[in-house]
Amino acid sequence: MGALAHKPKLYEQVAERLEDAINAGTLRAGDRLPSVRQLSLREQVSISTVLQAYLHLESVGLIETRPQSGHYVRRRERPRLAEPQVSRPATSATPVTVSALVSRVYQSMRDPNLVQMGGAWPSTELLPTRRLYRELNALTRERGDAGMLYDVPPGCPELRRQLARRSLDWGAALSPEDFIITVGAAEAIHLCLLAVARQGDTIAIESPAYYGTLQAIESLGLRALEIPCSPRHGMELDALQAALERRRVAAVLVVPSYSNPVGSCMPTANRQRLVAMLEERGVPLIEDDLYGDLHFDERRPRTCKSFDTTGNVMLCGSFSKTLAPGFRVGYVAPGRLRERVELLKFSHTVASPTLLPLAIARFLEEGGYDRHLRALRRRLSEQVARMAEGVAEHFPEGTRVARPAGGSLLWVELPSTVDSLVLHGRALDAGVSIAPGPIFSPRPDSYRNFIRMSCGQPWTPRIEGAMATVGRLVRTLM
């Protein structure tokens, strides 16, 4: 796991210049982009760099390819909305009490009668259900009574081997022995928090942050310290550094790739700096890489773990957002706290269910995962782009929307007078589930005019209608 310096790649620079031209209106919807050869000459870069830049712009929904014709700026009904600004949470740590609110909201996220833009999970239409079921059935035929036995920690060697193989893709060369199998990333995060913190300790987190993580922090009697975040680049490291100088922090917990709810992606150089900063101070980094495989761009972001030379980074992940939410298969590579986390896993749930990690291991072994991921990413990036367009079309002026480069979530800032808790209630009455902003902060008054919309469901007239409904409700609340 060598640590390499990082600059924006050439293709990223090329793409950024085109994006600026689109945002400034120099290139407009329907405009044809320069041919690959022209741009290669103009920018003095290789053909393949231009192709990569175009692929990237296509994946984030800014341009489209027309066969036999070339690349065009995508048509949008309205000009692209501005992004939300960098968050400015309170600078003091706070005990967390989101649970009651989350519970109310969560009930609505699972109501099958509602149009679901609430929960952060992919539609089952996007999942390889039949193949996973086939693996499961094969296991019951081939493995005798193995499924009856405890798969004691660290758990499923077959899956740990596959994870080690995949970790090359994350920029980290981990070994099967580095991993412990868990019941989803949620258990992994929980075990990490138990391993590093005692009641009353402070955990530095992103602002806004995933409500489940806030609940985990609450349930262990910990305090949350919210760090400002940019909607594009995630946690602001200068702010984090200042916070670390002011107070003792037991751990920093980040979702560097396509954070929930914002969808921000921390640049590689920031990841490297974050790892070094925390290593130096002996503060463990809990890296929630739950969405890392859902990059719209060609390349998967490197994990923070890939810069870890001392075992200070605890990498958590799962297959809940990419393969099988209902299987509850996650993992943690806890670095130097491996032995402690393994013991906690045992006392916590004894073992993960035996057959389900095995079924996923077989699926990975047979090589279908990358193909599946490519299709899933394409669908999600399309759905995110369509939802963003829907917001631009139906929501009132002054609405801002984040521009995620991965994942399946859209973080929307409404005009400042709109109360998203009221909006949430009205939307439910109208048959639509969304996630109101305040559940993403330990302070119930934060993000009152924000909502998170899930793009996990395929775009349909029903979703479009729901979007129009929410837009109309927003107007009535202004």
349 scored as a contact of a copy of itself (CB under 8 A)? yes
Query: With b meaning 16 or more CB within 10 Å and e meaning fewer, what string describes 96-113?
Result: bebeebbeebbebbeeee
368 scored as a contact of a copy of itself (CB under 8 A)? no
Quick one: tokens of 72? 């065009």
84 scored as a contact of a copy of itself (CB under 8 A)? no
354 scored as a contact of a copy of itself (CB under 8 A)? yes
247 scored as a contact of a copy of itself (CB under 8 A)? no
DSSP H/E element including 186: helix 184-196
CA dist 339 to 25, 188, 375, 473, Å?
A: 56, 14, 37, 52
Name which position in 8, 25, 95, 200 contacts a copy of itself (CB under 8 A).
Answer: 200
Stretch that binds a copy of itself, among 187-195, 226-234, 280-288, 441-449 (CB under 8 A): 187-195
Q: Specify whether the CB–CB gap between 423 and 417 falls below 8 A.
A: no
375 scored as a contact of a copy of itself (CB under 8 A)? no
150 scored as a contact of a copy of itself (CB under 8 A)? yes
Nearest residue (CB) to a copy of itself, 74 versus 143: 143
- Nearest CA-CA partner of 307 in 347, 271, 341, 278: 271
CB of 203 to a copy of itself, least distance (A): 14
Rounded to whole angstroms, the Cα distance separating 199 from 222 reads 5
CA dist 412 to 45, 297, 299, 348, Å?
A: 36, 22, 26, 37
Nearest residue (CB) to a copy of itself, 30 versus 221: 221
244 scored as a contact of a copy of itself (CB under 8 A)? no
Q: Which residues does residue 332 pair with via DSSP β-bridges, in sequence order?
A: 180, 316
251 scored as a contact of a copy of itself (CB under 8 A)? no
Question: DSSP letters along 20-33, please?
Answer: HHHHTTSS-TTPBP
- Nearest CA-CA partner of 456 in 115, 212, 184: 115
Pairing of strands 435-436, 450-454: antiparallel
Quick one: tokens of 74? 């995508």
3-state secondary structure of 76: coil
Rounded to whole angstroms, the Cα distance separating 289 from 307 reads 14
CB of 320 to a copy of itself, least distance (A): 8
288 scored as a contact of a copy of itself (CB under 8 A)? no
CB of 103 to a copy of itself, least distance (A): 6
Question: DSSP letters along 118-171, please?
Answer: SS----GGGS-HHHHHHHHHHHHHHSGGGGGS-B-TT--HHHHHHHHHHHGGGT
Nearest residue (CB) to a copy of itself, 98 versus 451: 98
DSSP 322: T
DSSP 447: T
Name which position in 75, 110, 246, 374 contacts a copy of itself (CB under 8 A).
Answer: 110
Nearest residue (CB) to a copy of itself, 37 versus 198: 198
DSSP 257: B
Spacing of C-alpha 389 from chain mean position? 20
152 scored as a contact of a copy of itself (CB under 8 A)? yes
CB of 119 to a copy of itself, least distance (A): 8
336 scored as a contact of a copy of itself (CB under 8 A)? no
Backbone angles phi, psi at 7, to 5 degrees: -115, 160
457 scored as a contact of a copy of itself (CB under 8 A)? no
3-state secondary structure of 223: strand
Nearest residue (CB) to a copy of itself, 252 versus 358: 358
405 scored as a contact of a copy of itself (CB under 8 A)? no
**Binding residues with a copy of itself: total (CB under 8 A):** 61
CB of 439 to a copy of itself, least distance (A): 12
Quick one: tokens of 104? 């109310």
Nearest residue (CB) to a copy of itself, 215 versus 257: 215
Name which position in 106, 170, 369, 395 contacts a copy of itself (CB under 8 A).
Answer: 106
Name which position in 350, 375, 462, 476 contacts a copy of itself (CB under 8 A).
Answer: 350
Nearest residue (CB) to a copy of itself, 92 versus 347: 347
Looking only at residues 300 through 329 of this chain, which bind a copy of itself when binding is defined by CB under 8 A?
A: 320, 324-328
CB of 434 to a copy of itself, least distance (A): 18
Name which position in 6, 131, 161, 348 contacts a copy of itself (CB under 8 A).
Answer: 348
What is the amino acid identity at position 125? E
Nearest residue (CB) to a copy of itself, 145 versus 245: 145
Name which position in 41, 146, 168, 478 contacts a copy of itself (CB under 8 A).
Answer: 146
Name which position in 26, 38, 140, 175 contacts a copy of itself (CB under 8 A).
Answer: 140
Rounded to whole angstroms, the Cα distance separating 359 from 469 reads 41
Binding positions for a copy of itself, rule: CB under 8 A: 99, 102-103, 106, 110, 119, 121, 124, 127, 129, 132-133, 136-137, 140, 144-152, 183-184, 186-187, 190, 194, 198-200, 212, 215-216, 218-221, 320, 324-328, 339, 342-344, 346-356
